């Protein structure tokens, strides 16, 4: 980190720093401007087979200035918070806007939003940065040792990640918002190699485990050491398990796999910038064209999905009080009793769907990135009738229960997909009769959600975190949340993803 910003921070209120940027933007002719300052600290730790794999602790501080001039956006950022640098950054943002205006197709229209003055900190019982690196690594190495104590486990990997984002937002409309958010992520995986075959079991989820807007208390809640031996034993047992049969079958997806299914086949296609073609280069567009709003039968009557950033939804990675253009967190009905009812929108895109207000989903990876539409917590609501996972299995005559994502593939319109899971169990007459390796399933988004005929109740519902969602150019990697409970789908194509293994 340069020394200048640290000195400025001690002697200069963030509100005054923002005012420098906003004043210059106004003087240069901007019709709107906002300044977003972010102080970020992160810690990333990992082990591999009893040795430290990664150990980093980093900090970042800077300002991003976004302006409208001549009907077009301009953006510039700096890690220097001295007055001269901040004013130069604002001036550069206006220059970018004027240059962009020369090739604009139409003027940017911002939906009205009452400017807010607010302060918010996400619930955090134990500040993760009050725990030592030594303490963190000691726990990870205990898990690592427990995994490798299982005969046949050939590779053990663990990881733990903390992040604290403190953000100040001010706009030319009068917004003045201060937010602090903590993120904790932790998980591990056991691998078993035999010949050319590799089997893997992860806990509590794959791709880094579980991530939430919480403090160190999340680590304590997950009982990492206590579950390690079981995870290792399952990885080894998969080597001798039967391969998932191919054909058509009823399937039950556990909640973390269903969460990823939601992310890929609901979350991405409802991003309105993708629908409008404003963000297509990195990961395609969407099959959910504007004519489908309130007309498309997305799923059965049991499919109720919301995009909910409000703190009361839970400690998801998509939870906040205000988005990165100062719009309060909201709950938007996305699918209501199977009918497609909503998009993820911003102040700029709201008018394209006839909305009078932004859905509050504009977010940026950091101070040096332009905010774009991102998923909040896109969650399927649990069933109203009491139903546990075991009861759902018991109510299934035949099928396959699949757990923990291993791979995914979906086309650039988010329509045709194929997912592989780490482990499956064949179900016959309401009982698990054998373990299956390399289970997979495929389908078409709307056909798949229209095959859902059961979902478990609130006690089985978990708000999972996806920390690695990529979007935009330059790419922004951000966290999203997805609440889900185990659910059953009828007559799904299974078993083709790992043919020959």
What pLDDT sits at residue 4?
35
210: closest CA among 252, 254, 256, 164? Answer: 256
What pLDDT sits at residue 499?
54
47's CB contacts (< 8 A; 6+ apart) are: 53, 137, 140, 141, 144, 156, 157, 158, 159
CB 70 within 8 A of CB 97: yes
> How far is the C-alpha of 112 from the C-alpha of 424, rounded, in Å?
50
What pLDDT sits at residue 12?
59
> How far is the C-alpha of 309 from the C-alpha of 327, rounded, in Å?
11
CATH of 3-238, one of 1.10.10.60, 3.30.2290.10, 2.30.42.10, 3.30.450.40: 3.30.2290.10
Token code pair at residue 71 = 């009907």
Q: How many residues does the chain have?
A: 501
Instruction: Give the three-state DSSP class for 202.
Output: strand
Question: Where exactly are the structural domains of the chain?
Answer: 3-238, 242-494
414: closest CA among 295, 264, 282? Answer: 264
Q: If you search the block for the tokens 């703190």, which residue do you land on?
A: 311
> How far is the C-alpha of 273 from the C-alpha of 292, rounded, in Å?
15
CB 484 within 8 A of CB 381: no
Q: Chunked in runs of 10, what are the mean pLDDT values of the chain (501 residues)?
A: 37 86 98 98 98 96 98 98 97 98 96 97 97 98 98 98 97 97 98 96 97 98 98 98 96 98 98 93 88 98 98 98 98 98 98 97 97 98 97 98 96 95 98 96 98 98 96 92 98 76 42
63: closest CA among 480, 320, 471, 364? Answer: 364
What pLDDT sits at residue 474?
87
> How far is the C-alpha of 157 from the C-alpha of 140, rounded, in Å?
9
Token code pair at residue 145 = 């040792």
Pairing of strands 210-212, 117-121: unpaired
């Amino acid at each position: 980190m340069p020394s200048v910003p640290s000195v400025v921070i001690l002697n200069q209120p963030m509100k005054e720093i923002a005012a420098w940027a906003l004043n210059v933007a106004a003087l240069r002719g901007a019709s709107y401007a906002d300044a977003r300052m972010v102080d970020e600290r992160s810690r990333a730790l990992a082990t591999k087979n009893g040795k430290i794999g990664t150990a980093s602790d980093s900090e970042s501080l800077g300002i991003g200035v976004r302006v409208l001039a001549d009907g077009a956006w301009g953006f510039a950022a700096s890690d220097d918070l001295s007055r001269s640098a901040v004013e130069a950054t604002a001036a550069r943002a206006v220059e970018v806007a004027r240059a962009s205006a020369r090739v604009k197709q139409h003027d940017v229209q911002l939906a009205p939003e009452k400017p807010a003055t607010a302060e918010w900190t996400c619930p955090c019982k134990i500040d993760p940065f009050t725990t030592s690196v030594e303490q963190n690594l000691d726990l990870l190495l205990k898990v690592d040792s427990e995994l490798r104590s299982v005969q046949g486990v050939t590779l053990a990997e663990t990881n733990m990640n903390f992040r604290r984002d403190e953000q100040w937002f001010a706009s030319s409309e009068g917004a003045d918002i201060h937010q602090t958010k903590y993120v904790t992520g932790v998980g591990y995986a056991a691998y078993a190699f035999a010949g050319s075959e590799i089997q893997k079991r992860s806990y509590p989820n794959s791709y880094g485990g579980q991530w939430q807007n919480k403090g160190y208390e999340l680590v304590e809640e997950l009982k990492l050491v206590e579950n390690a031996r079981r995870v290792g034993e399952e990885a080894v047992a998969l080597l001798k398990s039967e391969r998932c049969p191919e054909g058509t079958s009823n399937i039950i997806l556990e909640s973390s796999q269903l969460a990823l299914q939601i992310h890929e086949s609901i979350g991405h296609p409802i991003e309105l910038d993708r629908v409008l073609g404003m963000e297509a280069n990195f990961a395609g567009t969407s099959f959910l064209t504007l004519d489908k709003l309130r007309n498309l039968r997305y799923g059965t009557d049991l499919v109720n999905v919301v995009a909910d950033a409000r703190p009361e939804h839970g400690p998801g990675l998509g939870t906040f009080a205000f988005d990165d253009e100062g719009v309060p967190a909201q709950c938007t009905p996305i699918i209501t009793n199977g009918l497609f009812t909503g998009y993820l929108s911003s102040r700029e895109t709201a008018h394209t769907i006839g909305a009078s207000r932004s859905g509050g989903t504009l977010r940026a990876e950091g101070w040096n990135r332009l905010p774009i539409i991102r998923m909040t917590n896109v969650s399927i609501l649990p069933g109203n009738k009491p139903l546990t996972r075991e009861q759902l299995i018991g109510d299934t005559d035949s099928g396959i229960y699949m757990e923990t994502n291993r791979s995914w593939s979906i086309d650039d319109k988010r329509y045709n997909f194929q997912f592989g899971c780490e482990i499956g169990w064949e179900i016959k007459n309401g009982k698990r009769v054998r373990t299956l390796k390399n289970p997979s399933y495929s389908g078409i988004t709307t056909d798949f959600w229209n095959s859902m005929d059961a979902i478990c109740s609130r006690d089985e519902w978990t708000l999972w975190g996806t920390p690695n969602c990529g979007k935009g150019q330059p790419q922004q990697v951000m966290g999203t949340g997805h609440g889900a409970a185990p659910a059953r789908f009828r007559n799904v194509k299974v078993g083709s993803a790992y043919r020959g293994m």
